Structure 1
Amino acid sequence: MLAILVSEYGLLFIGVTVLVLLSGLWIKKYQVLGTAAGIITVALLLLPIVKAYNVGTNLKADIDRAFLFCGKPAKTFSSAFKPFTFSKLFQKDPQSAFQTLKYVSYPDTSLTLDYYKSNATGKRPCIVVIHGGSWSSGDSRQLPELNAMLSQSGYQVASINYRLAPRWKSPAPVQDVKAALTYLRKHAGQLQIDTGKIILLGRSAGAQIALLAAYTVKQQGIKGVIDFYGPADMVWGYSVPAPKLIMDSRGVMANYLDGYYPKVPQNYAGSSPIRYVSVQSVPTLIIHGGNDVLVAYEHSRRLSEKLKQNGVPHYWLQLPWATHGFDHHLNGPGGQLSTFAVQQFLRQIL
C-alpha cells in the first residue's frame, strides 16, 4: 500500500515535501543539504506523472492498431477522454450502486456476484470481474471503482465471488466462472445482457483465473480477456519465488494447487494460462507494472510472447514505475492509463 501511495498519490507527498522545503527559509541548519534532498524527492515523485504522459502519447493508436481486425475499423472510434491528464489526478474515483445476486449453490457453499447495471438501455455487453487475493482472500467488493466507471460507460458488470484456497483447490475458481457465465446467460433477458459480447477481467490471482477461463471454457460469446498483473506461467513462477519478506509465493501456490511443485507438477502446468494459448485464443489486454514485486513482470512478457507466436491479437500496457495493485487509485497515473486501455480495448473488441 505504501508503494501504491508513493507512485499513484505522489501529489500528496509532493505537497508535504514543498512545505518542508519552505520551512528551510527560516531553519538555517542543514539548509543546503535539506533543500537538495527535497528537490530530489520532488523530482522522483514527479517521475510517474512524466512517464504517464510519455506512455499515453501513442496509447490510443497502439491499441487500435493491435486490435484493428477484431471489430470495426479503428478509425470509426473516437475517445471521449485522453489517456492521461494532470487535472484528473484531483478527481474522485467514480461510484455506482449494485445489487447482490446468488449465482450458484453447491452442497457446501453458495456464491454471489455484485451486479452493476449499465446506464444505457437495451441489451448491453457484460464484463465479468474476478478479484485478486492470492486465491485465498478478497471478495467481489475489491476495487469497485472500475466497475462503476464501466457501468457508467454503458456496460453491464458482474463482479463475482469464487471459492477460496486452501479449502478449495484449482480448478474450483474456473468452474465458478463457468457457473457465473451460465447464470448470466440464463437471466440475460432480466439483466439486459448481450450474451454474444462477454469479456473476462481479472486482477492478480483473479487474472490467472480469468485467463485460464478465457482460454479453456468453450462458451460462445466470450470475446476477450483483460489481465491486470496476473501470473500466467505457474511453473516458471514457482521456479522464481518472490522474496520471503514480501510473500511466501510458493506456499501461496501450494495452497491453491494442492501441494508444492515437486509433488504435483501436473497441477502447476494445468493451471498455467500460457499453456493453453492457441491460434483460437480470444484477444487479450495485458496490464502490468514494472515495479511489481508480488507477480513478476516476466509473467506478462512470457504471455505476450506466446500470444504473438500464435497470432492472437493482444496489447501489453507496460507501466515501468507501477507496482502491484497500482489501479487502487483509478485517477492516478497508472490508473488513468489502464482505465483508458480497458475502455479502448472494449471499443475495439465489442
Structure 2
Amino acid sequence: MVKLVLTIILFLISLLTVLSAPAFYLWLLAIATDEFPWIFIAIILVIVFINFRSPSYQLPTMILAVISLLLFLSPMVRSYLVGSKLQKNLAAAFGNEIGTNAFEFTPFSYVQMFKPKVTVPYSTVSYDKNGKTDLTLDFYPSEIKGKKPCVIIIHGGSWKSGDSQQLPELNSYLAKNGYHVAAINYRLAPEFQSPAPVEDISKTFHFLKGKSAEWNIDTTNFILLGRSAGAQIALLAGYTLKEPALKGIIDLYGPADMVWGYSIPSNPLIMDSRKVMEDYLGGSYSGHPEKFEKSSPLLFVNKQSPPTLLIHGLNDVLVAYEHSRRLNAKLEENGVKHYLVTLPWATHAFDYNLYGPGGQISTYAIMYFLKSVTE
C-alpha cells in the first residue's frame, strides 16, 4: 500500500511538468520537477524495481510509475527538441553564425546535467551613495585577460526584494568565459518607486566606465541582463537611457507591458501581482495610468532599440508568457534584431539550475547572443 501511495504522489508531482502550478509552493516544486528531473526519475526507477519484487498492487503501481516516468522525462526531451533548432534560429535572428564548438555548452545534453558548478571570486563595492542608501554591486572579473565586455545583471524579486546574490552561478560562468559581470543591487519598492531602479542603472554605467582602466572593461561593450522584475528594469533602461555603449538586452521572463499585466492579474494563490505593481508604481492603474505606461518597456521600442534576447517559459505562473509574445511582436514590427526562446515545459525561474533543461537552453542562448552582439 505504501508503494502505491508513494507512486500516486509522484504521479501528481509529475503533472507539474505539463500543467501550470496552482499555488505558490507548487510553483517551487514545479521548478524542481522541470530542472532536476533526474532525481524524480531515479525515485520512480527504484519503485519499479521494488514493484517487480512485491505482488501487492503491482499493476496500478506499474501503470502510474510508467506515466510518471514519461512525464518526468518530458522536460529533457522537449529541451533537446528546442536545442536542436536553437543555433540555426539564433543565427537567423542575429545574423552571426557561431559554431557550437565556440561554447563549453551545447544547447542541451543529458550529460551536462551532472556537471559541477563553476565558482569565480568576486568583490563587492559601492557604486552610489544616496543619503541613507548605499548601493553596491558584485564584480566578477573575466578570467580571460584583456579588455572585455561587461554584463550588468539585475535581480528579480517583484521590485521589492532580492539582491545581487540571486542565482550567482551564471555570473561565474560568464566570467570564466571572458565577460566581466556586475551584479547590482538597486533601490527597492515600496520605499523607492519607478523610475528609481532605471536611474540606478544609469549610475551603474557611469561607475563602471570610471573603473574601466582598473578593471579592464571594454566601455564600448555593455549588456543588460535582467530576471523577472529585473528584466522590466533592464528593458526600460535599455530602451530609454539611449546609452551608446549598450550592445544588447537579455530579458529572462520579464513583464514588458505593465498596463496589460495589471489588467490580467496572476493567480492570487501564487502572487498578488496587482499589489506588487501598485507598490512599485505608486498606486492602481486607474489612479496612475501615466506611471504604468512610462514603466512599460514595450511602449518605448523603436527602430533604434538595442538587439534583444527574450527567454520565457509557457508555464510561467508569475509573469505571463504573453508579456514576451507582445514584446517580440513589437520588436518585429520595428525591425529590431531579436529572438524569443520559448520553453514549452518551463515555469518562472527555470534557470535556477544552470545545468537543468531550462538552464542549459538559456545559458547557450545567452552565450550565443553575447558573442553575436559584442564581437
Q: Residue 188 of structure 1: which of 204, 207, 212 is its match?
A: 212
2:53 is matched with which residue?
26
Aligned to 1:283: 307
Q: Any unmatched runs of 5+ in structure 2? A: 1-27
Find the counterpart in structure 1 of residue 357 from structure 2: 333
Unaligned regions of 5+ residues in structure 1, if any? Answer: none
> Which of 47, 51, 67 is the equivalent residue of 1:40?
67
- Contact 1:77-1:347 within 8 A present in 2 as well: no
Alignment of 1:153-168 (within 5 A): 153-168=177-192
User: Matches of 1:77 and 1:144 in 2, distance apart?
Assistant: 24
Q: Residue type matched to 1:74 in 2? A: E
Q: Residues 268-303 of structure 1, C-alpha deviation per residue, up to 9 Å, x if partnerless? A: 110000000000000000000111000000000000
In 1, Cα distance between equivalents of 2:91 and 2:51? 50
Shift of 1:339: 0.2
Structure 1 residue 74 displacement after superposition: 2.3
Partner residue in 2 for 1:243? 267
Cα displacement string for residues 179-212 of structure 1 (whole angstroms, at most 9, x for unaligned residues): 0110001111111100100000000000000000
Give 1:78 deviation, angstroms. Answer: 4.9
SS in 2 for 1:190: helix
Answer whether contact 1:10 1:45 (CA < 8 A) is retained.
Answer: yes
Of the structure 1 ranges 92-101 and 206-215, higher mean CA displacement relative to structure 2 is found in 92-101
Q: Is the 8 A contact 1:329 1:335 kept in 2?
A: yes
Corresponding residue for residue 231 of structure 1: 255
Any idea what the Cα deviations from partners look like across 1:54-73, whole Å, max 9, x if unmatched? 001121111011011xxxx4
Identity over aligned pairs, percent: 50
For 2:69 and 2:278, the matched residues in 1 are separated by 42
Q: Describe the shift of the 1:347–1:121 C-alpha distance in structure 2 as closer, same or farther (beyond 3 A).
A: same
Partner secondary structure for residue 225 of structure 2? strand
Q: Quick check: 1:225–1:283 contact (8 Å CA) kept in 2? A: yes
TM-aligned CA distance change 1:19 to 1:265, over 3 Å: same
The separation in 1 between residues aligned to 2:255 and 2:265, in whole angstroms, is: 12
Q: Which deviates the most, 214-223 or 89-98?
A: 89-98
> Displacement of 1:92 after TM fit?
2.3
Runs of 4 or more off by more than 4 Å in structure 1?
75-78
Matched residue, 1:13:
40
- How is 1:54-73 mapped onto 2 (pairs within 5 angstroms)? 54-68=81-95, 73=96
Q: TM-score, normalised by structure 1?
A: 0.97
**How many equivalent pairs are there?**
346
- For normalisation by structure 2, the TM-score amounts to 0.91
Match of 2:102 in 1: 79
Q: Within 5 A, what are the aligned runs for 1:81-230?
A: 81-230=105-254
**Distance of 1:75 and 1:15 partners within structure 2:** 36
**Aligned residue in 1 for 2:373:** 349
Q: CA deviation at 1:129?
A: 0.2
Change (3 A) 1:246 1:60: same
Deviation, structure 1 residue 76: 7.7
RMSD of aligned C-alpha atoms?
Answer: 1.1
**1:204-254: per-residue Cα shift (whole Å, max 9, x none)?**
000000000000012220010000000000000000000111100000000
Q: Distance in 1 between matches of 2:72 and 2:229?
A: 29
Where does residue 253 of structure 1 map in the other structure? 277
Match of 1:317 in 2: 341
Match of 2:330 among 284, 293, 306: 306
Deviation at 1:77, TM superposition (A): 8.1
**Structure-2 separation of matches of 1:269 and 1:208:** 13
Contact 2:236–2:296, Cα closer than 8 Å, also in 1 = yes
